[in-house]
Amino acid sequence: MGHGRCYAVAPDLLSDDEEGFVAQAGQDLDVPAELVGQAQDAAGACPEYAITFTKS
Amino acid sequence: MTPRSGCPVSHTDYTRESEIYGHYALLDEEREAERFHFNDTTERGFWMLTRYEDVLAGFQNHANWTTAVRTALFPGSTIELFPQDLNGEEHQKFRRILNPFFSPAAVRRMEELAHSRCVELLEELAPQGHCNFVAEFAIRYPTDLFLVLMGLPVQDGDFFLPWTEEMFGCMLQGDLDGAAVPKAKILAYFQEAVDERRANPRDPAEDMVTRLVQAELDGEPLSDDTILTTCMSIMLAGLDTTRSALGYIFAHLARNDEDRALLIEEPERTRDAVEEFIRLYPLVIQAGREVQEAEDFRGLEMAPKDVVWLGIGSANRDPRKYEDPDRFVLGRPGLNQHLAFGAGPHRCLGMHLARLELAVVLEEWHKVIPHYRIKEGTELIERGSQLTLKDLELEWDV
What is the tens place of the pLDDT at every residue in B265-282? 999 999 999 999 999 999
Please state, in angstroms and rounded to a whole number, the distance separating the CA atoms of residues B364 and B243. 16
Q: What is the pLDDT of residues B129-153, one digit of tens each?
A: 999 999 999 999 999 999 988 999 9
CB atoms B103 and A3 under 8 Å: no
**Radius of gyration from C-alpha coordinates of chain A:** 10
Please state, in angstroms and rounded to a whole number, the distance separating the CA atoms of residues B339 and B43. 27
pLDDT computed for residue B173 by the predictor: 76
Residue A50 pLDDT > 80: yes
Residue B347 pLDDT > 70: yes
Count of other CB atoms within 10 angstroms of residue B175: 11
pLDDT computed for residue B5 by the predictor: 73
* Interface probe with A: pick from B97, B234, B336, most Cβ of A within 10 Å: B336
Q: What is the pLDDT of residues B196-213, one digit of tens each?
A: 999 999 999 889 999 999
Beta strands in chain B (DSSP E): 9-10, 18-19, 36-39, 46-49, 65-66, 130-132, 216-217, 220-221, 287-291, 295-297, 300-302, 307-310, 373-374, 381-382, 393-395
Question: Which of B56, B344, B352 minimises the CB distance to A20?
Answer: B352
| Mean predicted lDDT score pLDDT of chain B | 95
Q: Residues B7-29: what's their mean pLDDT?
A: 97
Percent of chain B scoring above 70 in pLDDT: 99
Nearest to B317 by CA among B357, B276, B355, B370: B276
Q: Which residues contact B114 (CB under 8 A, 6 or more apart)?
A: B145, B356, B357, B360
Nearest residue of chain A to residue B105 (CA atoms): A18
pLDDT computed for residue A28 by the predictor: 94
pLDDT computed for residue B78 by the predictor: 65
- Could you state, in order of their start, the residue ranges of all structural domains in chain A? 1-56
CATH number for region B9-395: 1.10.630.10
Residue B362 pLDDT > 80: yes
Query: b/e map of B94-117 (b: 16 or more CB within 10 Å)?
Result: bbebbbbbbbbebbeebeeebeeb
Q: Please give the CATH architecture assigned to the domain spanning A1-56.
A: 2-Layer Sandwich (3.30)
* Interface probe with A: pick from B310, B337, B338, most Cβ of A within 10 Å: B337
Nearest to B149 by CA among B194, B106, B180: B106
CB atoms B99 and A3 under 8 Å: no
Cβ contacts (< 8 Å) between B110 and chain A: which residues? none
Cβ contacts (< 8 Å) between A3 and chain B: which residues? 336, 341, 343, 347, 351
> What backbone torsions phi and psi does residue B65 show, to the nearest 5 degrees?
-110, 105
Q: What is the pLDDT of residues B86-119, one digit of tens each?
A: 999 999 999 999 999 999 999 999 999 999 999 9
Size of interface A-B (CB pairs under 8 A): 64
Cβ contacts (< 8 Å) between B106 and chain A: which residues? 18, 20
Q: Residues B251-271: what's their mean pLDDT?
A: 97
